[in-house]
Amino acid sequence: MTLPDPSTPLTNKRHEQYAFQRAKGVDQATSWQRTIPFGQPYTGGNGSLRVSGHRCEQRPEVRERIDWLILETRNALEDAPVSLSRSDVIVMSLEVGDALEAAYRAAVTSSVSPQAIERLKGVWAAHLARQGKMDANDDQILPDPNSGELTTLLANMGRVCTCQKH
């Protein structure tokens, strides 16, 4: 049996989602739980999620895909700029704000629950508040690349907004 090319997404969407979550460093149980389709009830426990995640990860094509995604993330971090200027950070922050606004407007006009809309509104408001607090005197926003903080920041840039504490 020939394994698929790990650079192409897996044909099984749940396996692909699982691999993506594991490559981000999420544990097996949580990764498998995030593959459950939205709205589908889940009655099992955490142990069941761990076993299902473990079984999925034992598949050679899933393991290779996880390894490939991790390698791609590391390569992307190596290509990242050593520092970002204040204007770079402001442009990125404005783009995130625009994306949050578009998501909010789409949620309001769709069948998203009022609680989810309120949470999204809270994230958007927190992001806007953080934008307003940017210090106008800083020319370089990011820390020394050798401190490890830059790597952490760049690894989290895939999230929509990192303003909220997780």
Residue type, 137: N
Note if the pTM is more than 0.75: no
Q: Tens place of pLDDT for every residue, the chain, 166 residues? A: 688 888 999 999 999 999 999 999 999 999 999 999 887 888 888 899 999 999 999 999 999 999 999 998 888 777 666 677 777 888 888 888 889 898 888 888 888 888 988 988 988 888 888 877 765 445 445 455 555 555 555 555 544 454 544 4
**Identity of the residue numbered 37:** P
